[in-house]
Amino acid sequence: MPGLIGLFKQTDGEGVGALLADMAQQLEPEARFRRELHHEAEFGFGRVSLGIVNAAAQPAWNDGRSLGLVMDGELYDFEAQRQALGGSANASQAEFLLNRYLEYGDDFAAPLNGAFSAVIWDRRARKLLLISDRLGLHPLYYAHLPNGFVFGAGVRAVLADPDVPRDVDRVAIAQFLTFDHVLGQRTFMRAVQLLPQGSVLTYHQGQVRLKRYYALRYPERYPHRSQGEFREELLHHLRRAVRRQIHTPAPAGLMLSGGLDSRLLLGLMAEASNGQPVTTFTWGIPGADDVRYAAECARVAGARHYFFELKPSWLLDKAERVVGQSDGMGNVVNLHAAAALEAEAQHAQIIFKGFMGDAMFGFGLRPRHWADYADEDRLCTHLEAYRDYDVLDFDLPEHPRLFTPAFQQAIGDEALGAYEAAIRESGVTQLAVQRLYIDLTNRVPRMTLNGVEMVRPRAVVRLPFADNDLVEFSLRIPPGFHYGRELVKQAFLQAFPAFAQVPVTPTNLPQTACAREVALRAASLVRWHLRRVGLGRLAGPEQRPYKDYNLWFRTELRAWVTDVLLSQRCLERGYFSAEYVRQLVQAHMSGDDHAVRLGALLSVELWHRQFVDGVRTGSRRAARELSPA
């Protein structure tokens, strides 16, 4: 994906320029990207972008050219923010940020509403600042070296500097294989860290200082209000968030699934579009529940709807690329947003997503969260909640079988350290609120954001649920209203009753009482009886998923999976028990469903080949040429 890059090192301008160009190439190698690079003695920075939004030339400089700024991403409803916060009528977004820094210093970003990252270079003070937005929606990674400082929008860009050590962070790998994402600020490279959400990092005189200008804060006491009052305010914030982002400088579309959040956005966008049809996209297996329900919602909204088939062969074509784009920290079975991206970009250059709505409004909450526990039992209870809906890839009891003794000794108890730290950082004792905080500060930036990052090489992504005011409002909602996503469901029913009659995954039922619901429940009961008496083939499948890696890994992708995971290179990494990996692959090929686990192992291995071994081959070629040990 595009983004920012730069370095501050003890080297001449020519060396800086060459390394900066290499970093840009590693971040996005295709010539279609716009590269704006500036370098001088010991310092260089720049932006790689699509040039669709925030398109004014960068870097932005002050009058004396003593301060320069580059910015990735955008401020939402920029003109309104500029008028509210003060700023020159002709200033670009980057110039606006630079002027705010001149006036307010490190706190300049606190009120800004948008998805962005920025870097400021102070020539006189020889000082460098890195800034993330409140939620870290445009990641920046950095490495603090004995001879300087390197940063980039991808770990792969940072690794363009040969001085960055290639020591693998085994704790990060253990976290990824447990939670399906890394925790905290770690990456797969020990020397490279992620800039935290809502932070300003200052590099000056060889020292790094981190300052948080924003953090999620939940109230000690919640306001006494009815559910209806909360529902009305939620709809107000949702409508305003969409209005702030709906005006676009290029064709736009909505990624539409069969779930709740994207159809809620569809209704809101249709309201705000002044009678103009919304463009929508869905991809998946033809006939899948998500595909059918999304198409029906699009018809109800009068949208221009496009469907793209998700085929297993997309992994043979793009696995290496998407693993590289996620810097190994995304499970390949979750990265299919890249599968049909080129086709989608022919219809829209700005794509809206229902990103983060689930995390904000209670997806992860379970009944066990509503109780007080002893301090020593809190972590265990959180882990049990993950087990309630089966989202741990390799649970803790499996670690001794999966990891080699040497690997386990190296990681010790550190894999859960970041989770315990997040519990403490939440500043609350209620487990339900702790879980909301952990989802927004770990799961969202370290996992859910991967789906956004997959789209950014072809389109700008806008995220209405990440609106500042909507997020702040979500923190004030009593957690009981979040359980079962009840509040957002009720808001949806009130605002868009026609959409509510379309079934929703995974229940395959409408979200409102209607004749269709009665008919579907009756049909479901008939199918249940057919299965009970051994006539399951007549009943048909219970679910029709939009993806089926479980099947694909043992059919079309079987040779590729086995060639990668059972290769001598993979089995001799020293991370995993070779026998356990063989057993896992064999069990899957025999009918068990280990697709998510195998996907995680595939990501780790493919990342290792690219960024540690230095071998980059196309996945189709790998499937042909590699052979199992």
Identify whether 217 is part of a domain.
Answer: no
User: Does residue 220 sit within a domain?
Assistant: no
Tens of pLDDT, residues 325-359? 999 999 999 999 999 999 999 999 999 999 999 99
Dump strand ranges (E) for 207-314.
Answer: 207-212, 252-255, 279-284, 304-309
Structure confidence by residue, pLDDT tens digits, 261-278: 999 999 999 999 988 999
| Long-range residue pairs from 318-323, CB within 8 A, at least 24 positions apart, any chain | 318/619, 319/560, 319/602, 319/606, 319/619, 320/606, 320/610, 320/616, 320/617, 320/618, 320/619, 320/622, 322/454, 323/602, 323/603, 323/606, 323/607, 323/610
Domain boundary among 212, 242, 261: 212
Question: If you average pLDDT over every residue of the chain, what do you get?
Answer: 94
- 257 shares its domain with 155: no
What CATH code is carried by the domain that includes residue 475? 3.40.50.620
Q: How far apart are CA 569 and CA 348, in angstroms?
A: 41
E strand or H helix at 515: helix 515-532
Residue-level pLDDT at 617: 44
- Note whether 254 and 351 are within 8 A (CB): yes
Whose CA is closest to 3, among 34, 30, 31?
A: 34
Asked if residue 308 belongs to a domain, the reply is yes
Residue with tokens 């060396």: 15
| Amino acid in position 58 | Q
Residues 207, 89, single domain; the answer is yes
CA dist 243 and 233 (Å) reads 15
The answer as to whether 438 is a domain residue is: yes
Segment 253-266 shows an average pLDDT of 95
Rounded to whole angstroms, how far apart are CA atoms 592 and 9? 52
Cα atoms in the Cβ-side hemisphere of radius 13 Å centred on 24: 22
Does 571 score more than 70 pLDDT? yes
32 and 154 in a single domain? The answer is yes
User: How far apart, in whole angstroms, are the C-alpha atoms of residue 202 and residue 119?
Assistant: 10
CA dihedral 617, 620, 626, 629 (to 10 degrees): 120
Residues 168 and 20 in one domain: yes
In this structure, the answer to whether residues 501 and 516 fall within a common structural domain is no
- Domain total of the chain: 5
Q: What is the mean pLDDT of residues 397-425?
A: 94
Q: Which residues pair with 454 in a beta bridge?
A: none
Find the domain containing 525 and state its range.
Answer: 509-542
Same-domain pairing of 473 and 410: no
Average pLDDT (196-220) is 97
Positive or negative, the CA dihedral 406, 412, 415, 416 is positive
Q: In which residue are the tokens 């363009």 written?
A: 160
Q: Which two tokens stand for residue 573?
A: 């990494």
In this prediction, residue 88 carries a pLDDT of 86
**Can you give the pLDDT at residue 615?**
52
**pLDDT tens track for 20-56:** 999 999 999 999 999 999 999 999 999 999 999 999 9
Q: For residues 56 and 117, state if they share a domain.
A: yes
Q: Check: CB of residue 59 under 8 Å from CB of residue 94.
A: yes
Residue 221 domain flag: no
**Same structural domain for residues 233 and 334?**
yes
Tokens of 538: 């007549």
**DSSP tag of 232:** H
Last residue of a domain, one of 422, 446, 470: 446
d(CA 482, CA 497): 20
Across the range 616-621, mean pLDDT stands at: 42
Residue 359 tokens read as: 């995390």
Final residue of a domain: which of 161, 178, 212? 212
Q: Are residues 464 and 603 in the same domain?
A: no
**Contact between 118 and 69 (Cβ < 8 Å):** yes
pLDDT exceeds 70 at position 616: no
Looking at the domain assignment, is residue 141 inside a domain? Answer: yes
Enumerate residues 6+ apart whose C-beta is below 8 A from 294: 256, 257, 258, 262, 263, 280, 282, 305
- What is the model's pLDDT at position 623? 39
563 vs 38, 195, 214, 323, CA distance in Å? 44, 36, 46, 17
Q: Answer whether residue 390 is part of any domain.
A: yes
Q: If pLDDT is split at 50, 70 and 90, which confidence band does 609 have?
A: very high
Do 374 and 305 fall within a single domain? no
pLDDT at 89: 86
Q: Is 137 found in the same domain as 78? A: yes
Residue range 6-19: average pLDDT? 89
pLDDT digits (tens, 9 = 90+) for 94-143: 999 999 999 999 999 999 999 999 999 999 999 999 999 999 999 999 99
Report yes or no on 219 lying in a domain: no
Do 60 and 157 share a domain, yes or no?
A: yes
pLDDT in tens, 156-195: 999 999 999 999 999 999 999 999 999 999 999 999 999 9
List, for residues 434-488, the tens digit of each pLDDT value. 999 999 999 999 999 999 999 999 999 999 999 999 999 999 999 999 999 999 9
The CA angle 490-492-498, to the nearest 5 degrees, is 120
Calpha distance 155→371 (Å, rounded): 40
> Using CA of residue 268, residue 274, residue 275, residue 276, what is the dihedral sign?
negative
Q: How far apart are CA 178 and CA 394, in angstroms?
A: 5
In terms of phi and psi (left: phi > 0; alpha: psi -120 to 50; beta: otherwise), the region of 154 is: beta
Query: CATH no. for residue 208?
Result: 3.60.20.10
Is it the case that residue 312 has pLDDT exceeding 70? yes
Token output for 77: 């409803």
Cα–Cα distance, 35 to 44 (Å, whole number): 13
At residue 620, the pLDDT reads 41
Confidence of residue 619 (pLDDT cuts 50, 70, 90): very low
Buried/exposed code over 32-65 (b: 16+ C-beta within 10 A; e: otherwise)? ebebebbbeebbbbbbbbbeebbeeebbbbeeee
